[in-house]
């Protein structure tokens, strides 16, 4: 496991009304969700980064209004037409 130190203004914690550990957990989740949404990492890797099971990560995606599917509706339709 890699340990990283990030310096943030104390007001950052109060903005989300979270303690330091809760804030760090939320940052990990937010980063994992965004990278997954961008297609840069897989669902499994995103769950690992977030420190969640894959099922819990999929549930968290809904909280961020992010689809659990990395293919768009158009991509799925195009693929179906090819078959």
The one-digit pLDDT tens for each residue of the chain (83 residues) are 888 888 888 888 888 888 889 999 999 999 999 999 999 999 999 999 999 999 999 999 999 999 998 777 777 778 788 87
Is 14 part of a structural domain of the chain?
no
Question: Is 78 part of any domain?
Answer: yes
23 CB neighbour count, 10 Å cutoff: 17
What is the reported pLDDT for 15?
82
Q: Quick check: is 10 in a domain?
A: no
**pLDDT value of residue 18:** 85
Give pLDDT, residue 71. Answer: 72
Using CB atoms within 10 Å of the CB of residue 36, give its burial: 0 to 12 exposed, 13 to 18 middle, 19+ buried. Answer: buried
Host domain of residue 60: 19-82
- pLDDT at position 48 is 97
Is residue 3 a part of any domain in this protein? Answer: no
Q: How many domains does the chain have?
A: 1
């Amino acid at each position: 496991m890699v340990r990283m130190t990030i310096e943030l203004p104390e007001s950052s914690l109060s903005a989300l009304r979270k303690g330091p550990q809760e804030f760090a957990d939320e940052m990990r989740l937010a980063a994992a969700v965004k990278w997954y949404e961008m297609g840069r990492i897989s669902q499994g890797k995103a769950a690992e980064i977030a420190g969640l099971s894959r099922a819990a990560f999929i549930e968290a995606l809904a909280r961020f209004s992010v689809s659990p599917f990395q293919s768009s509706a158009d991509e799925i339709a195009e693929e179906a037409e090819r078959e």
